[in-house]
Amino acid sequence: MEGPKITDVQIQDTATQAAAPAPAAPAPSPFGVDYVFDSRGRKIGLKKLKPSERFLLSKHIETPNLSTLMQAITVASIISIDLDGFPPLKNEADLLSRLDLIGDDGLEAVTEKVMKMYGQTLTPAEATTAKN
């Protein structure tokens, strides 16, 4: 005489389920360079300036205030367009020349990313103003 057969039993390993690895965080960009695309399709490379670079940049601005300094930092943080690199800024003329090269569409594309790089946030009204 045979005893009852147990065939529909499932064993769960709760320790394995609880220890499931979390999804991997995105890998940091190589060399600290991030890229955004502007409305013209240009690939714009951004790199955070060191504190000493930001300090020296403020000396190139004739009448520094927070708005002009942040715009200068934004422009100086742009290190390439379509992988064509830029040399470091040396004076206000270099800054103005690069600003014109980047243009409004380039600035619009990088503003949010640059603000996050430097730990700043924009209110919705400021974001609209920055885009216009």
DSSP string, 51-120: HHHHHHHHHT-SS--HHHHHHHHHHHHEEEETTEE-PPP-SHHHHHHHHHHHHHHHHHHHHHHHHHHTT-
Domain presence at residue 58: yes
Domain presence at residue 43: yes
Domain presence at residue 123: yes
**How high is the pLDDT of residue 23?**
47
Q: Looking at residues 53-81, what average pLDDT do you find?
A: 84
**How high is the pLDDT of residue 25?**
42
* 34, β-bridge pairs: 46
Q: How many domains does the chain have?
A: 1
Q: Looking at residues 43-67, what average pLDDT do you find?
A: 85
Domain presence at residue 1: no
Distance in angstroms (rounded) separating the CA atoms of residues 96 and 1: 96
Domain presence at residue 85: yes
Distance in angstroms (rounded) separating the CA atoms of residues 104 and 39: 10
Q: Looking at residues 62-72, what average pLDDT do you find?
A: 80
pLDDT tens digits along 2-43: 655 555 545 555 544 555 555 444 454 556 889 999 999 999
**How high is the pLDDT of residue 62?**
73
pLDDT value at 85 more than 80: yes
This prediction's pTM: 0.65
Range of the domain at 110: 32-131
Q: Are 18 and 91 in contact (CB under 8 A)?
A: no
Helical (H) or strand (E) element with 36: strand 33-37
Mean pLDDT computed over every residue of the chain: 77
Burial, 45: exposed, middle or buried (Cβ in 10 Å; 0-12, 13-18, 19+)? buried
Residue with the larger pLDDT of the pair 80 and 20: 80
Q: Looking at residues 76-100, what average pLDDT do you find?
A: 89
Domain presence at residue 127: yes
Distance in angstroms (rounded) separating the CA atoms of residues 64 and 43: 29
Domain presence at residue 11: no
**How high is the pLDDT of residue 81?**
93
